[in-house]
Chain A
């Protein structure tokens, strides 16, 4: 049972930060930015490169996060701001195009093989009955820390108040003297940092490869949409739901249902399960579980 909860926790951590980043940026820029999952890959690869250049991993990770944040702002200013003028669907297709171009860049620069951070072996710790590695615990700590810092930033600082004001009513916020474009780009920067941190967390626990981004794309979207796109902390709750569902699907013995002793679904059905929850949730509550915004037609 404890192992089950720890599996859920680990999977939540996989998804949470990228989903939070996605949700954050959606509150200000009204389109789901698919390229965000590639920022996560960029973050882990940059950290790897910087570590290879001789920096200690924490410094390399921090630097990589900042660089990816910069990349996110750069892409927002040069590409997405212009595309958004033609509508959110066009911007979404544009973010898809950016995703593909980034994939091509990763493929040429890093090659198709999986890589790992240069770390000590993964010593296993027993917490109650669950087996965890130090690196998994580090990732959990990083995620929890980042979410807490973000929550404090959003709800305890002037900058956070400006962000929430701009998200709620851009025109009114501008009228009170908030520089909406600056705030937007700050949030874009933050989303890049969060995604990169999420990517580094993913890579800490296992391998990194160029497919990482596409692999987490739909679970991350499912988590963010379940939490109500635009609701940053809702995305964490969404990630918990998705992680629970995925872990349940692969761990529950369906044998008794069909009269056989043992029947487990293939592991690849785990992600399919999260998509199914997403589709079902969208059928019932079209705009996520934690959003009350009315959107007609």
Chain B
């Protein structure tokens, strides 16, 4: 039970990183990204490809980061002249294209079977300490990224991002370069997602295309909406809440003796129902965005 708790907490920290990074795009800059999981995938496959070619984990991290930054730039280029809903569909398409590529290009990605046997991060430590150390590392990284995001969005730069979200034409008239204003948060958020992907790959020791279904992006979205769009604490809170809720679904199934379809259906209901309920009745989420300045 203790090990299970550590596992769920680690996953919650990783998804907390993803939620933070998506929040930077959606919550602050107003960029409706439905292909976020592809940025995470850059991180996982960076780690996996570096492992398969024996380049070492540092190269994997760099490779993943570089790929995610490139992809983020491509997303930003697409967003230069697209309406929000069109951009959402375009990012979703790109994520699906990349997943199809990962499924079919066996020579690079191991195909549908993926790449197995990545080393655990603290594999040499004895039983309870290895996973605990991983959890610690993930938690520290989450705190660091949270501080980074807080620093980014408080102050002038954050105000510029919010202006881009609310009144892009006004932002443009004040002399802000909208393309650059979209590019920077996308790249930063891509790097955070890639780090999360790298950690995930070395934690689960397996990387495959099945981890990159769009459903994962939608799960991160539900974390944001439930936790509170435009609030970093809300994003992390949403990630923990959803991860723990979903982790206990199989236990409910066993306790009630329900068929195994129940798990999949219940997950869909929790994610979809959570999204819908909060959109309809509490749009601001559990922890609403703070409007106004430091002294307001």
Cβ contact of B261, chosen from A82, A108, A271, cutoff 8 A: A108
The answer, yes or no, to whether B83 is at the interface (CB within 8 Å) is yes
Instruction: Give bound CA distance, A237 to B94, whole Å.
Output: 23
CB within 8 Å of A: which B249-293 residues? 261-262, 264-266, 268-269, 271-273, 275-276, 279-280, 283
Inter-chain contact A104/B266, CB cutoff 8 Å: yes
Q: Which of A64-72, A116-124, A139-147, A274-282 contacts B (4 or more CB under 8 A)?
A: A274-282
The answer, yes or no, to whether A98 is at the interface (CB within 8 Å) is yes
How many residue pairs at the A-B interface have CB separations less than 8 Å?
Answer: 129
Interface size, chain B (Cβ < 8 Å): 45
- A107-B265, A108-B265 given as contacts; is B100 within 8 A of A88 (CB)? no
Smallest CB separation, A96 vs chain B (Å): 6
Instruction: Give bound CA distance, A64 to B98, whole Å.
Output: 37
Inter-chain contact B88/A92, CB cutoff 8 Å: yes
Smallest CB separation, B167 vs chain A (Å): 9
- A90-B283, A222-B93, A275-B96 given as contacts; is B103 within 8 A of A268 (CB)? yes
Inter-chain contact A32/B276, CB cutoff 8 Å: no
Smallest CB-CB separation from A99: which chain B residue? B272
The answer, yes or no, to whether A101 is at the interface (CB within 8 Å) is yes
Inter-chain contact A86/B93, CB cutoff 8 Å: no
The answer, yes or no, to whether B97 is at the interface (CB within 8 Å) is yes
Inter-chain contact A96/B275, CB cutoff 8 Å: yes
Inter-chain contact A94/B279, CB cutoff 8 Å: yes
Inter-chain contact B279/A90, CB cutoff 8 Å: yes
Inter-chain contact A97/B273, CB cutoff 8 Å: yes
Inter-chain contact A96/B269, CB cutoff 8 Å: no
Cβ contact of B221, chosen from A96, A105, A276, A297, cutoff 8 A: A96
Instruction: Give bound CA distance, A107 to B266, whole Å.
Output: 10
The answer, yes or no, to whether A225 is at the interface (CB within 8 Å) is yes
Instruction: Give bound CA distance, A103 to B279, whole Å.
Output: 19
| Binary CB contact string for chain A from 281 to 297 against chain B (1 if under 8 A, 0 otherwise) | 01100110000000111
Smallest CB-CB separation from B219: which chain A residue? A100
Inter-chain contact B265/A82, CB cutoff 8 Å: no
- A93-B275, A98-B276 given as contacts; is B268 within 8 A of A86 (CB)? no
The answer, yes or no, to whether B86 is at the interface (CB within 8 Å) is yes
Smallest CB-CB separation from B273: which chain A residue? A101
Smallest CB separation, A296 vs chain B (Å): 7
| Binary CB contact string for chain B from 82 to 125 against chain A (1 if under 8 A, 0 otherwise) | 11111011101110110011011000000000000000000000
CB within 8 Å of B: which A186-240 residues? 218, 221-222, 225
The answer, yes or no, to whether A39 is at the interface (CB within 8 Å) is no
Inter-chain contact B100/A268, CB cutoff 8 Å: yes
The answer, yes or no, to whether B206 is at the interface (CB within 8 Å) is no
- A96-B218, A111-B261, A218-B96 given as contacts; is B90 within 8 A of A282 (CB)? yes
- A278-B93, A286-B83, A286-B86 given as contacts; is B32 within 8 A of A104 (CB)? no
Instruction: Give bound CA distance, A82 to B261, whole Å.
Output: 32
* Interfacial chain B residues near A93, Cβ < 8 Å: 32, 221, 225, 275, 279
Cβ contact of A225, chosen from B89, B222, B262, B265, cutoff 8 A: B89
Smallest CB separation, A221 vs chain B (Å): 5
Instruction: Give bound CA distance, A101 to B218, whole Å.
Output: 12
Cβ contact of A101, chosen from B78, B93, B272, cutoff 8 A: B272
The answer, yes or no, to whether A155 is at the interface (CB within 8 Å) is no
Instruction: Give bound CA distance, A279 to B172, whole Å.
Output: 25
Instruction: Give bound CA distance, A101 to B273, whole Å.
Output: 7
* Interfacial chain A residues near B264, Cβ < 8 Å: 104, 107, 112
| Binary CB contact string for chain A from 13 to 31 against chain B (1 if under 8 A, 0 otherwise) | 0000000000000000001
* 16 CB < 8 A contacts A-B: A31-B85, A79-B280, A89-B30, A92-B88, A96-B218, A96-B272, A97-B271, A100-B272, A101-B276, A108-B265, A269-B100, A272-B100, A276-B97, A282-B90, A287-B86, A297-B172
Hey, which bits of chain B sit against chain A, CB under 8 A? Answer: 30, 32, 77-78, 81-86, 88-90, 92-94, 96-97, 100-101, 103-104, 168-169, 172, 178, 218, 221-222, 225, 261-262, 264-266, 268-269, 271-273, 275-276, 279-280, 283
Hey, which bits of chain A sit against chain B, CB under 8 A? Answer: 31-32, 79, 82-83, 86, 88-90, 92-94, 96-101, 103-105, 107-108, 111-112, 218, 221-222, 225, 266, 268-269, 271-272, 275-276, 278-279, 282-283, 286-287, 295-297
Beyond A94-B276, A101-B272, A297-B168, 5 extra complex contacts between A and B, CB < 8 Å: A83-B280, A107-B268, A268-B100, A275-B94, A279-B94
